Amino acid sequence: MEKNRGTWSSRFGFLMAAVGSAVGLGNLWKFPYLAGENGGGAFVLVYIVLVVLLGFTLMLAEMTIGRRAQSDAYGSYHKIRKGWGFIGALGILAGFLILSYYSVVGGWVIKYIVASFTGTGADKAVYFESFIGAPVEPVIYHLIFMGLTAIIVIRGISGGIEKASKIVMPALFGLLLVVVFRSVTLDGASVGLEYYLRPDFSQITLKVVIAALGQVFFSLSLGMGIMVTYGSYLSSHEDMEKDAFIIPSLDSLVAILAGFAILPAVFAFGFKPTQGPGLMFVTLPAVFDHMPLGSLFSGLFFLLVFFAAISSSISLMEVTVSFGIDQFKWSRKKAVLIFTTLMFLIGIGASLSLGAWKGFQIPWIDGKAYGIFDFLDVTTSYYLLPLGGILCAVFIGFVWGIPAVVQEIKKGSAFRTEKFWTVLIKYVVPVLVFLILLSTTGLLEI
Ligand code: PHE
Ligand code: NA
């Protein structure tokens, strides 16, 4: 893909790769537990508002930069204006840190494919906690996930993953609907449905807004130049405005369905909605226990979650690796091996921080201290990605300049939302994200 730059063989191929990067653990694992922790419907409402304001706007911005410059994340910014490549560099750092812990969770998913058939016992929470807290087993699964990602990226066979996505994504969607149906028809599900769907406005606090903002960036793969890279392979006939609408819509649809699959069951079985990262792994096995052919459905479901996760992890790895290839002139294989080793080691720390190393806490600028796993999550979702988003918006609005940007977008199609988009990207996105970022640090108190 790197040397002689091609374009996507079809519009569908591009959409599949972008949706493949976007739809992953963020939707299935993170969104439901963040909703559970942050007031249910209140979180969902704020999330949707932010996707509408930021998701479409930044998605279109990143794609346009890539299509114009036809280069990687760092190179594209640099090519349009010298000295601005650092925005891409920040994104590469974010991708590196995200994959270090994403792979740990990817490993949990592999474990749960296996556990679907070997059983998870009566107490799902105990099973999960003792698994992730163990010193060796989760590290081995993390190694497997990281290794598979590395092999795919070394062999440059992500094209195969794209093809697989054409089956996996619709299958995941279909199976998710089955699980949603089972979950919402459980006895006592209605309390969960109400919690998930009816926003309690008094619950919309700053903490909820901060969580939703980080999740928008994470889930849509925004703020780190992935969509710049993908956009760089787009032809000038592409209707990017439409793509920037479709990708966030599909991603949000999957996230919201995942919430429907999990939250009603949480209440039906009497689990705690606020338990955090274990929510999916504790709840779904209980749902599958209440289904005919439960093991089979469970195995298939976690397998599809695994595919969704791996298509996101290769996009994360690809960003880091192409940086090594371009900037250090490494071979692809060398770049993959070096970065994989580093991320694997950091990931070991992340995994141990949920068990043996629980006491090891890293102080952070918000005045709190975090274990390694949470530290990686917090620094990327709540700081690096939003910062990347602000910088992208400022770059578009004030450095490259709206007239030139609009001209690039209009090469491919009419630009129906030109006025709306201009106001959002120039003023609303940078100001809004900046205010939220400031309050995340604790410097601003609203
Ligand atoms: N968007 C992916 C998910 O939801 C994760 C991801 C984040 C991928 C950032 C690439 C970049 O799982
Ligand atoms: Na996502």
* Backbone phi and psi for residue 368, each to the nearest 5 degrees, phi listed first: -95, 175
Mutate to test the pocket of ligand 1, among 28, 218, 381 (most ligand atoms within 8 A of CB): 218
User: What ipTM did this prediction achieve?
Assistant: 0.98
Q: How far is the CA of 222 from the centre of ligand 2 (A)?
A: 10
Give the contacts of 157 (CB within 8 A, at least 6 positions apart).
none
CA distance 218 to 289: 31
Residue 16 confidence (pLDDT) above 90: no
Residue whose CA is at the smallest distance from ligand 1 atom 9: 221
> What is the pLDDT confidence band of residue 3, given thresholds at 50, 70 and 90?
very low
By percentage, how much of the chain surpasses pLDDT 90? 84
Ligand 1 touching residue 106 (CB < 6 A): no
Calpha distance 353→361 (Å, rounded): 9
Please state, for a pLDDT cut of 70, what percent of the chain lies above it: 97
Give the burial string for 383-417 (b: 16+ CB within 10 Å, else e): bbbbbbbbbbbbbbbeebeeeebeebbeebeebeb
Burial of 380 (0-12, 13-18, 19+ CB in 10 A): buried
Pocket test for ligand 1, best of 315, 322, 385, 392 (most atoms within 8 A of CB): 315
Ligand 2 mean position to 254 CA, how many Å? 8
Given a contact cutoff of 8 angstroms between Cβ atoms, the answer to whether 20 and 229 are in contact is: no
Please name the helix (run of DSSP H) or strand (run of DSSP E) that holds residue 25, with its range, or none.
helix 25-25
Nearest 5°: CA angle at 166, between 25 and 6?
Answer: 100
Residue 5 predicted with pLDDT over 70: no
> pLDDT tens digits, residue range 59-77?
999 999 999 998 888 999 9
pLDDT band for position 1 (cuts 50, 70, 90)? very low
Mean of the per-residue pLDDT values for the chain? 94
Region 206-230: mean pLDDT is: 95
Distance 298 CA to ligand 2 centre (A): 21
- CA–centroid distance for 115 within its chain: 25
- The pairing of strands 369-370 and 362-363 is antiparallel
Q: How far is the CA of 40 from the centre of ligand 1 (A)?
A: 22
The reported pLDDT for the residue numbered 6 is: 63
What is the rounded distance in angstroms from the CA atom of residue 411 to the CA atom of residue 414?
8
- Residue 118 scores a pLDDT above 60: yes
| Whether the Cβ atoms of residue 75 and residue 231 lie closer than 8 Å to each other | no
**Closest-approaching ligand to the CA atom of 25:** 1
**What average pLDDT score do residues 425-444 get?**
94
Report residue 40's pLDDT band, with 50, 70 and 90 as the boundaries.
Answer: very high
Q: What is the pLDDT of residue 2?
A: 42
Packing angle of the helix pair 206-219, 385-394 (nearest 10 deg): 80
Q: Which ligand is nearest to the CA of 222?
A: 1
| Gyration radius of the chain's alpha carbons | 21
Question: Three-state DSSP class for 351?
Answer: helix
Query: Measured from the CB, is residue 315 less than 6 Å from ligand 1?
Result: yes
